[in-house]
Amino acid sequence: MANASCWGQYGLADNLHIGQVSHHFVQHKGTDWREKHTYLVYEHDKSGIMFGYLRNSYNNDSWLIGSKFFKGGTSAGEFGIKAGLVYGYEEFPAYVLGYWKFAIFEVNYLPTQMISAGFVFKLN
């Protein structure tokens, strides 16, 4: 319990997002996109602020900061919209995604571009 109170006291993060797989709906000619990603992101549960690292689809290191701007919930899980900035993508420095989180899984959707899924673990 000491760790839980420490995380909560300093508000560093309440959720840890680990790993991600993706599928791209559109492939640019000559592009071989990765579909398995190193992904490590902290999320502060109350504020929705997220920051972290990922190895993007172009196989480049990327850093992101963003927030969940809309959150709703049903018995089927939490859903909403998140947006932010990413360093490491040439043509997508900003993002807006729809998401659906259920149990320890989260699915993200970028309209007309891709869908991805990963694990989310509660830290406290």
- Helix (H/G/I), strand (E/B), else coil: 113: coil
pLDDT higher than 80, residue 99: yes
Higher pLDDT, 43 or 7: 43
Instruction: Set out the domains of the chain in order of their start, with CATH numbers.
Output: 2-122 (2.40.160)
Q: For the chain, how many helices (H) and strands (E)? A: 1, 8
Instruction: Tell me what pLDDT residue 87 has.
Output: 92
Q: How confident is the model at residue 58 (pLDDT cuts 50, 70, 90)?
A: confident
Mean pLDDT for 87-107 is 88
